[in-house]
Amino acid sequence: MAFTVLLAEQPREFLTDADEKTGRIVRTNLEKLASEPYPRPGTGRGDREKLPVDGRELYRMHIGRTYTAFYTIHDGADEVRVREILPIDDAHKRYG
């Protein structure tokens, strides 16, 4: 099943303002969510996890060692909604 990856306003602005290399890396990683949005425990791939953020259950995806994307999955609509992209240290303060 393929999901449609939708970006909220903040991630769209982030990508607009990002330099070329950062934008390419972030887009490439977000594209992976279309085919595999769920965490895969036990696979050694610790880039995705479901956790509480600001009182809500969200998923997070580490992008390199620099950024974190927060997103939700809507199975009924086959959508992944990227809510926010933050520097990894700022993201850790929200859920760490």
CATH code, domain with 19: 3.30.2310.20
| Alpha-carbon distance values, 28 to 4, 11, 41 (Å) | 14, 14, 22
Amino acid at 37: P
* Structural domain contains residue 87: yes
* Structural domain contains residue 43: no
* Structural domain contains residue 27: yes
* Structural domain contains residue 74: yes
* Structural domain contains residue 10: yes
For 38, which DSSP code?
S
Q: Which residue has the tokens 């926010």?
A: 84
Domain range for 85? 4-37+48-95
The alpha-carbon radius of gyration of the chain (Å, integer) is: 13
Digitized pLDDT (tens) for each residue of the chain, 96 residues in all = 799 999 999 999 999 999 999 999 999 999 999 999 999 876 655 589 999 888 888 999 999 889 999 999 998 899 999 999 999 999 988 876
d(CA 31, CA 57): 22
For the chain, the residue count is 96
**Terminal Cα-to-Cα distance of the chain (whole angstroms):** 32
| Alpha-carbon distance values, 89 to 35, 49, 92 (Å) | 27, 16, 5
* Structural domain contains residue 53: yes
Query: Could you give the number of structural domains in the chain?
Result: 1
